[in-house]
Amino acid sequence: MKALSQKRRHPLAALALLVLGLMLTGGLYAVVTTVNEAKADTTTFTAHQVEEGEKLFVANCATCHGIGANGTDAGPSLAGVGAAAVDFQVGTGRMPMQMQGPQALGKPAQFTTEQTRELSAYVATLGDGPAVPSEEYLDGNGDAAVGGELFRVNCAMCHNAAAAGGALTRGKFAPALAGVSNSHIYEAMVTGPQNMPVFNDANITPEGKRDIITFLNTIEEQGNPGGAKLGSLGPVSEGLFIWTAVLGVIVGFTVWLTSRTS
């Protein structure tokens, strides 16, 4: 007992305890993160898909991203971005890019669904990253009310409260979300494309992402029962419309009066 007590008072004892605590904390964090990712990301690929994906990558993507996807001056490394990032970028037509600019623009997809899956399979082998989400979270059967609250807190400042999109800085913008597939909405949240932050499972749970998707589906289905949406920009565009209309009436009335007097 005396020897043990002396060791506890050793000058390096505090340092050893600190290192042990950090290792334990890091290990627990890694386990929790893995569990969360496994909960939402259940995609598996075959060896054939990986092989075909590598061929497609070398032929179409390596010019910018480099052989082995290590990155070049024209494009970043893809190690660790995960299958979800590839499925989003390629599936929405943002990649391959049509031209260099402030951000990649969406356009008709250049690859088929199967080819996109093969590219995703290859990139998934380059490092751990978000996988294509499970259908469980893409069915649009979440809680729209909860999703609306999450959207307004986390997304509306860029995408607009009605998901109509909005301008950012230096020629960049947050796109409108109407017509975007549920899988691409989920993938955007977990990968953070362009200027969008990453909303991992610690920020918004898979169930929360499902609720946001349900909210977006709901407002898209509702349409605009109040009339013309005017870009869904709220009182600014509505006030401008009213001001322009009233000013037009005043000008027209003035012209009519002057024509009568002459």
Check the annotation: does 158 bind a ligand: yes
Contact predicate 165/1, CB 8 Å: no
CA distance 112 to 60: 14
Contact predicate 43/130, CB 8 Å: no
CA distance 262 to 257: 9
Check the annotation: does 155 bind a ligand: yes
CA distance 69 to 82: 12
Q: Is the link from the previous residue into 102 a cis peptide, with omega within 30 of 0?
A: no
CA distance 208 to 194: 22
The tokens describing 65, both together, are 């991203």
Contact predicate 120/86, CB 8 Å: yes
Cα angle: 25, vertex 30, 35; to 5 degrees? 130
Check the annotation: does 64 bind a ligand: yes
CA distance 104 to 94: 5
Check the annotation: does 10 bind a ligand: no
Can you say which residues are annotated as belonging to the binding site for heme c? Answer: 61, 64-65, 155, 158-159
Can you say which residues are annotated as belonging to the binding site? Answer: 61, 64-65, 155, 158-159
